[in-house]
Amino acid sequence: MEPWWKGAILYHVYVRSFFDADGDGQGDLAGVMARLDYIASLGVDGIWLSPIHPSPNRDWGYDVADYDGVHPDYGTMADFEALLAAAHGLGLKVLLDEVLSHTSDEHPWFVESLTGGPDGPKADWYVWADPAPDGTAPNNWLSVFGGPAWAYQPARRQHYHHKFLRQQPKLNWLNPDAREAAISVLDAWLTRGVDGFRLDVAGTFLHDAALADNPAIPASERTARHWKHAGDMQRHLHDSNLAENIPLLAEVRRRVEAHGDRFVFGEFSEEEAICGGYCTPTEGLHSGYTFVMLLEDRLSPAFVKDHYATLAAYPGHWPTICFSNHDVPRTASRLGDGSPEAARLMLALLIALKGTTLIYQGEELGLPQASLRRDQLRDPVGDLYWPYAGGRDGCRTPMPWTPDAPNLGFSEGEPWLPAAPEHAGLTVAEQQADPDSTLALARRLIAFRKASPALTVGDIGMLEATPAILAFVRRAEDDAVACVFNMSADPAVFEHPALAGAELLAVGAGEAEIRGGSLGLSPYGAAFFQMPLLTTPG
């Protein structure tokens, strides 16, 4: 029997923007609980909550100040326990987002490491190094969020390493006590009953003890993506992404598995082939997702074909697949033209691909990216790169619930980010009343997938098609489903001998029609049909 997480669909809740139950403008755990019936009605298997721990919110929860608590903006431990029980009562798994690579600089561990003296018990719990003779950083490591990945602290006369913000010092996983303290966080929450974790930046736990410089990416090999951030101009081979990370991930997985039927998957944003992003469930974590699809901004069959060609080189790996999350522009705008048709195409594709699926809140509504003024931004990355880029707030605006309430039904108070005008007309209430809405399609697609062994746990094989068409077959035992997607704004035709006499299955996006051996698709159309079992991909 396959584990529950293989082929599961998880709904990603960005808690601060989901639903505000107490009117203070911040989404909270009581708000998630109030909308659990809605989440369950989608047909998903569980929820992944963004970080819920106390934090000074320099990076909105990804700078943890207390791993054993609940952020007061979100409620209390009793609120979490009530949410967990209610979710389990509806048959939903609950996974937490744990940030174990780094902490807040306000975490007691870091305060003690900074102030406890060179021989203190936590002196080596973070990555400290002497400055260069001229006072500059110890090496050339660059932060993801801009500038050197080092900050000087006169109290120790040393720099500490931070791969992200200066206020996010890097835990030293080479120190066995620090490593055990981090992994024990998982034990504590598993004991409370959570079903697993998404591990933030899971390739970054280890660093090179010798602090060797990262090599540059030669200018001749740089693409437009490399020039967006200075940190992308070097290969991050020594500040993170070490091959030794893989057995460490396996240790983490075994600790999680010791608590029973749980699931742990990781985020891998760089050098994923080296550091564990494509491991088998016995070599590293159970699964992982990369930024390959999250960073793609051109809609064509190539980005899917290329990624699954990469995955084919790691046959034991079970992927986690997502197109959208709290870090990247929303799918409908990034990969489409913002239209409902493009959003529905991408939703159908997401549900059809092999892997465990992550749906970001609002993706089931087809929400486009929101535009904000600089004075409305709360993301430090947005402020850093304004006006070149708006940062991540455009995908974090409040969930739109009702059209005739303040802030589209998210909160009665002033919301932490404004409700997006772009989301008016796309609220849950309006779409639930429309059988032809994107939300209605999402529910049909999820039910369709869950009824099909091929779409849930089957293999994937690509089919030849014209440049506008992506086509593949999902197969499992006696079930085979062909999945065809028109990735253009013009009508397109897919031809295959198996179409002769075939009938379209009852779910799809746009309009489709079979004539003989041809399948006609409307712009951004998606269609599914049963495939003869003896047909081979190609």
- As annotated, the active-site residues are 200, 267
**Cα 457 to Cα 352: distance, rounded to the nearest angstrom:** 11
Could you tell me if 514 and 505 are in contact, meaning their C-beta atoms sit under 8 angstroms apart?
A: no
Question: CB of 116 within 8 A of CB of 128?
Answer: no
Amino acid at 371: S
The residue among 277, 201, 264 whose CA lies nearest residue 48 is: 264
Using N-to-C axis directions, what is the helix angle for 340-352 and 438-450, rounded to 10°?
10
Closest CA to 100 of 217, 199, 248: 199
Integer Cα distance of 122 and 114 in angstroms: 9
Question: Which amino acid, 479?
Answer: D
Q: What is the rounded distance in angstroms from the CA atom of residue 291 to the CA atom of residue 268? A: 7
Beta strands in 291-368 (DSSP E): 320-321, 356-360
Give, in order, the Cα–Cα distances in Å from 169 to each of 102, 135, 481. Answer: 6, 19, 48
Please tell me whether the peptide bond between 329 and the residue prior to it is cis, using omega within 30 degrees of 0.
Answer: no
CA separation for the pair 317, 283 (Å, rounded): 9
Give the C-alpha separation, 345 to 464, whole Å: 19
How far apart CA 360 and CA 148 sit, in angstroms, is 32
Residue 507, SS3?
coil
- Provide the edge-to-edge strand list for the sheet that holds 512-515: 492-495, 518-521, 512-515
State CA 127 to chain mean position distance: 27
How far, in Å, CA of 203 to CA of 274, rounded? 9
User: Sign of dihedral through CA atoms 499, 504, 505, 510?
Assistant: positive
| Pairwise CA distance, residues 378 & 393, whole Å | 7
Backbone dihedral region for residue 7 (phi beyond 0: left; psi -120 to 50: alpha; all else: beta): left
Q: Rounded to an integer, what distance in angstroms lies between the CA atom of residue 119 and that of residue 134?
A: 26
Q: How many CB atoms lie under 10 A from the CB of residue 130?
A: 11
SS3 141: coil
Alpha-carbon radius of gyration of the chain: 23
* Paired tokens of 389: 């880029």
